[in-house]
């Protein structure tokens, strides 16, 4: 089933894709690897890398070329994310949340909204993210309390969002609110806005996190925040729930690709270490106990990649892919967590030292099991969609 009539995405020439991925690899080797440990340990925002990502077009990766983006299909985008995440997962979040915001505007916005906002999103002139989660509403988006009340040619917004990626460094957000708090069912009263920072838009302090360092996660506060009515995505109230959740398909493919990258990266580090570290007169890679771990790890990483590409291909065909994206996100994130833990065991006591990078993979991986919908919820979504597609 297609998402909408224009949902199918154009492909990419294999040579063009190979050249772009090669450029990403060179950038990782030259610019990312030398600074990742320092930035991660200091929890420092990677300003220089963000500027480089702007120049490479990553903030417009999935935005159509008609609006100044690269127009990459989801399959290529997933490969880019996996490559970067295999060395530093956190920086992929800087452009992922931003691209979900852009996807909401491109898929559901008016033509005037697309022409105004998307070129600025694609260039990175305006960067931001997705403002959905609230202190008492995470997985259950219909429980949000932030409200928008129409006042002439404006809306007045009040409420609080939390755990918002790019909350401090970003300048604009796709903001989910209630325009009719009394609506039944609840999703009929939800609307989605393009919300740039301004008077009445406050930002709290950066949250201190176990992992996912160097990308800011913060609380956003709205106190009589006035926003022009033409910032309502699609300019029709009551469509916000479907606009927001529609973008999560791409978000879950991104998280799955991050999981692939983490699983691959943990495998790479463990494989290298197992051939250097010796016990009983031989590299530990020659011990059966370690071989069993490596065998599981390489299989998980490969399976995660295949599931992720399957979901991305369905997205590119314009098909509804919440089942495929859910399976990819669930499996790949668990693969990342399991591979990072097994790598910690292979590194032994050294895994607990910050001198070795594997501890970062372990800290970062668990977030993939929680973010973009918990894996417990993914399993429910998978089951429901499977039953719906296979009626008795």
Residue at token pair 């597609």: 389
CA pair distance 328, 307, nearest whole angstrom: 5
Q: How far is CA 178 from the centre of its chain?
A: 24
Q: How many whole angstroms separate alpha carbon 19 and alpha carbon 12?
A: 11
Question: If residue 380 lies in a helix (H) or strand (E), which one and from where to where?
Answer: helix 375-389
Q: Can you name the residues that pair with 173 across neighbouring β-strands?
A: 129, 195
Active-site residue, from 31, 125, 372, 376: 372
Query: For the CA atoms of the chain, what is the radius of gyration?
Result: 21
Strand stretches in the chain, DSSP E: 128-131, 147-151, 154-165, 172-178, 190-196, 201-206, 217-228, 278-279, 282-283
Tell which residue, 192, 152, 158, 156, has the closest CA to residue 172: 192
What residue has token string 């050249």?
Answer: 19
Residue 208: active-site member: no
Give 23-86 as a DSSP string: HHHHHIIIIITTTHHHHHHHT---HHHHHHHHHHTGGGTTS-GGGTS----HHHHHHHHHHHHT
**Residues 326, 253: contact at Cβ < 8 Å?**
no
Q: Could you give the C-alpha distances from 314 to 2, 4, 294, 320, in angstroms and in order?
A: 9, 13, 31, 7
Residues involved in catalysis: 372
């Amino acid at each position: 089933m297609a998402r909408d009539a224009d949902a199918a995405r154009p492909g990419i020439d294999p040579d063009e894709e190979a050249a772009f991925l090669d450029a990403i690899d060179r950038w990782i080797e030259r610019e990312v690897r030398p600074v990742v440990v320092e930035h991660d340990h200091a929890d420092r925002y990677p300003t220089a890398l963000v500027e480089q990502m702007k120049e490479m077009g990553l903030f417009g990766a999935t935005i159509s070329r008609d609006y100044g983006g690269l127009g990459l299909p989801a399959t290529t985008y997933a490969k880019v994310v996996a490559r970067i995440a295999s060395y530093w997962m956190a920086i992929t979040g800087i452009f992922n949340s931003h691209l979900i915001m852009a996807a909401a505007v491109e898929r559901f916005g008016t033509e005037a909204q697309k022409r105004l906002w998307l070129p600025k999103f694609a260039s990175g002139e305006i960067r931001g993210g997705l403002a959905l989660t609230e202190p008492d509403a995470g997985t259950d988006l219909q429980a949000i309390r932030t409200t928008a009340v129409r006042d002439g040619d404006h809306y007045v917004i009040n409420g609080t969002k939390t755990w918002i990626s790019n909350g401090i460094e970003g300048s604009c957000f796709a903001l989910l609110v209630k325009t009719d708090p009394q609506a039944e069912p609840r999703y009929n009263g939800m609307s989605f806005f393009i919300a740039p920072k301004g008077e009445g838009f406050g930002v709290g302090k950066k949250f201190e996190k176990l992992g996912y360092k160097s990308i800011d996660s913060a609380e956003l506060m709205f106190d009589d925040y006035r926003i022009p009515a033409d910032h309502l995505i699609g300019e029709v109230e009551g469509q916000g729930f479907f606009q927001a959740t529609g973008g999560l398909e791409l978000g879950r493919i991104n998280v799955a690709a991050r999981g692939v990258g983490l699983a691959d990266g943990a495998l790479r580090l463990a494989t290298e270490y197992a051939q250097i570290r010796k016990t009983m007169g031989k590299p530990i890679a020659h011990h059966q106990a370690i071989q069993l771990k490596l065998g599981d790890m390489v299989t998980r990483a490969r399976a995660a990649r295949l599931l992720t590409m399957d979901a991305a291909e369905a997205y590119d065909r314009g098909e509804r892919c919440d089942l495929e994206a859910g399976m990819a996100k669930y499996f790949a994130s668990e693969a990342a967590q399991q591979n990072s833990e097994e790598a910690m065991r292979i590194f032994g006591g050294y895994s607990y030292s910050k001198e070795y990078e594997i501890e970062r993979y372990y800290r970062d991986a668990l977030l993939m099991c929680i973010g973009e919908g918990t894996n417990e919820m993914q399993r429910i979504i998978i089951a429901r969609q499977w039953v719906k597609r296979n009626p008795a």
